[in-house]
Amino acid sequence: MSNVKEIERAELHKTIWRIANDLRGSVDGWDFKSYVLGMLFYRFISENLTTYLNAQERSADNVSFDYAALPDADAERGRAETVKEKGFYILPSHLFANVRQRARHDANLNETLPRVFKEIEGSAIGAESENNFKGLFDDLDVNSGKLGPTVAKRNEKLVKLLDAIGDLPLSSGSGNFSDNSIDLFGDAYEYLMQMYASTAGKSGGEFYTPQEVSELLARIAVSGKTDVNKVYDPACGSGSLLLKFAKVLGQDRVRQGFFGQEINLTTYNLCRINMFLHDVNCEKSDIAHGDTLTDPSHEDDEPFEAIVSNPPYSIRWAGDSNPLLINAPRFAPAGVLAPKSKADLAFTMHILSWLATSGTAAIVEFPGVLYRGGAEQKIRQYLIDNNYVDAVIQLPPDLFFGTTIATCIIVLKKSKRDNATLFIDASTEFVRNGNKNKLTEENRRKILDAFTARKDIAHFARLVENAAIGSNGYNMAVSSYIEQPDASETVDIKALNAEIAQIVARQAELRTAVDAIVADLEGDDPEGDEA
């Protein structure tokens, strides 16, 4: 992207975030995200449908056709065919632009919008796209007291929201949605999710993976491939990880589409919207709602050639309290279940089970899974002894929203050229950006080059035979296998002792000063002797 484009993009981002903050007023930003993101989606599908139908009619020499100006009764005639082709339908009077135009004078706007949203969702009932639209607007509660104490106040807020979203310069001048307008809508959505995640504390990290980490995982998962059958994320959050494959490979090179599952209903809705805004239509995506570990979707599907995931760290799960799980084909091969208090390796086993023989999985993991004992050690033993672990990559600290801990990536493969595991120490591969660390393009390239080369690089990468890992108690911590740069340096004992002596002397001075202050305070206290 050119510098001019980057500047324009940065300015647009500033405008979007300023509007989002100005609009919310006293509503918490995290709570208000559903209104901004939901209304952005409503505008997108309205303009997308209008552009599509206008193009259809104008190509048939009806050059003056404007779907937005068509009476609803006339528009009804094209409903069935359009739903078949697009997966949904919106009557002209229900289009974002038309609702916005009437909104200021609509005393019942708080009733109009829910009716419109229900009609849009209902248009897909009976179609293949039904599950893609069902409940999509549930989190956009226009009658919530958070928007204002009275209907009038809430409607006033909604008018401002419609105007602000409508004024964003997201459509191309020609109205052609085949190029940059989809990128603009998708980019705006991603940016808003990133900003909401960064201000949401711990919960922010539960639905959004930073884009540079998403890209690294996607590139690892498709390394050496120009296309894959389909991609999968069992804890897909808002879908940012899945969508990186469209950028890395190109959407058409993910032949059968994008698959995921998400347990949180709000986040599940965010993911489905995100798919639409990146032009991943109903035929190319299958996002399920539910608990992947106990009620997995896509079980009967063909195995996936590329899997990426940033599952929740060390959450509780049913584990051995559910006797059916130990015999489940996903978990049974290891002979033990992940601890009930730490589901990390349960996700790993699930992913391995869903992985194609020729596939690659890249999983962000909490570092404890690399070295903890008990059931987790037994699961690591199963993974190492069966040669499923291709690489372990130590990431820098403070990359993710909601946590500062240094995470790692475990790469799984079922078909390997050797019987060894590659360890990469990328703990210093970052730049500080605001209040978080960030993987730059150069950092990502260095990691990917080492992953592809699969050979020893001093202080950075080391290929270790699996037998050696077994002899080390199946400890997979990167620091156990890669020597730090200063580990072999000779320590100057005299200099170290001198430095310690200075610290001790300074400590004594400070203690003396503190004692003097305390003595002065006690002298000022008339009851000090009795205390």
- Predicted pLDDT of residue 70: 96
Which of 3.30.565.10, 1.20.1260.30, 3.20.20.140, 3.10.450.40 would CATH assign to domain 3-198? 1.20.1260.30
More confident residue, 1 or 375: 375
**What percent of the chain stands above pLDDT 70?**
86
Task: Return d(Cα 284, Cα 19) in angstroms, integer.
Answer: 32
Question: Is 280's pLDDT higher than 80?
Answer: yes
- Predicted pLDDT of residue 435: 82
Give the pTM. 0.83
CB 226 within 8 A of CB 252: no
Using one digit for the tens of pLDDT, what is the confidence trace for 145-203?
Answer: 888 899 999 999 999 999 999 998 887 543 333 343 456 788 888 888 888 777 765 55
* Neighbour count for residue 182 (Cβ, 10 Å): 19
Average pLDDT over residues 464-470: 98
Tell me the three state secondary structure of residue 469.
Answer: helix
- Predicted pLDDT of residue 39: 92
- Predicted pLDDT of residue 21: 81
| Confidence label for 288 from pLDDT (cuts 50, 70 and 90) | very high
Question: Is 251's pLDDT higher than 70?
Answer: yes
- Predicted pLDDT of residue 520: 59
- Predicted pLDDT of residue 401: 78
- Predicted pLDDT of residue 113: 98
Task: Return d(Cα 137, Cα 143) in angstroms, integer.
Answer: 13
The C-alpha R_g of the chain, in whole angstroms, comes to 28
Task: Return d(Cα 102, Cα 99) in angstroms, integer.
Answer: 5
Nearest Cα neighbor of 142 from 124, 123, 161 is: 161
Nearest Cα neighbor of 371 from 480, 470, 475, 478 is: 475
Nearest Cα neighbor of 154 from 162, 144, 164, 163 is: 144
- What 8-state DSSP symbol labels residue 14? H
- The tokens describing 348, both together, are 């790993």
Task: Return d(Cα 464, Cα 77) in angstroms, integer.
Answer: 67
Question: Is 392's pLDDT higher than 90?
Answer: yes
Domain boundaries, the chain: 3-198, 204-480
Tell me the three state secondary structure of residue 395.
Answer: coil
Average pLDDT over residues 436-454: 96
- Predicted pLDDT of residue 59: 83
Average pLDDT over residues 322-326: 92
**204-480: CATH homologous superfamily?**
Vaccinia Virus protein VP39 (3.40.50.150)
Using one digit for the tens of pLDDT, what is the confidence trace for 208-219?
Answer: 788 899 999 999
- The tokens describing 33, both together, are 């995200």
| Confidence label for 526 from pLDDT (cuts 50, 70 and 90) | very low
| Confidence label for 16 from pLDDT (cuts 50, 70 and 90) | confident
- The tokens describing 136, both together, are 């999509």
Tell me the three state secondary structure of residue 484.
Answer: coil
Average pLDDT over residues 59-65: 83
Burial 342-360 (b: 16+ CB within 10 A, else e): bbbbbbbbbbbbbbbeebb
CB 37 within 8 A of CB 193: yes
Q: Which of 16-20, 171-175, 196-200, 451-455 has the weakest average pLDDT?
A: 171-175
| Confidence label for 41 from pLDDT (cuts 50, 70 and 90) | very high
Average pLDDT over residues 64-76: 95
More confident residue, 427 or 30: 427
- Predicted pLDDT of residue 465: 98
Q: How far is CA 517 from CA 34, 332, 510, 525, in A?
A: 55, 66, 11, 13
Average pLDDT over residues 373-381: 98
Q: What are phi and psi of 214, to 5 degrees?
A: -60, -45
Average pLDDT over residues 379-399: 97
- Predicted pLDDT of residue 20: 80
More confident residue, 55 or 521: 55
- The tokens describing 381, both together, are 């033993």
CB 304 within 8 A of CB 232: yes
DSSP, residue by residue, 254-272:
BTT-EEEEES-HHHHHHHH
Q: What are phi and psi of 67, to 5 degrees?
A: -60, -35
Q: How far is CA 350 from CA 138, 231, 353, in A?
A: 30, 15, 5
Task: Return d(Cα 47, Cα 177) in angstroms, integer.
Answer: 9
- Predicted pLDDT of residue 528: 40
Residue with the two structure tokens 């999968």: 232
Beta bridge partners of 233: 260
- What 8-state DSSP symbol labels residue 339? P
Task: Return d(Cα 136, Cα 129) in angstroms, integer.
Answer: 12
Q: Distance from first CA to last CA of the chain, Å, rounded?
A: 71
In one-letter notation, the amino acid at residue 90 is I
- Predicted pLDDT of residue 175: 39
H or E segment and range at residue 412: strand 408-413
Question: Is 491's pLDDT higher than 60?
Answer: no
Q: Which of 157-166, 181-190, 323-332, 351-360 has the weakest average pLDDT?
A: 181-190
- Predicted pLDDT of residue 509: 63
The rounded mean pLDDT for the chain is 88
* Alpha-carbon dihedral angle through residues 193, 196, 197, 198, given to the nearest 10 degrees: 120
More confident residue, 15 or 513: 15
CB 273 within 8 A of CB 136: yes
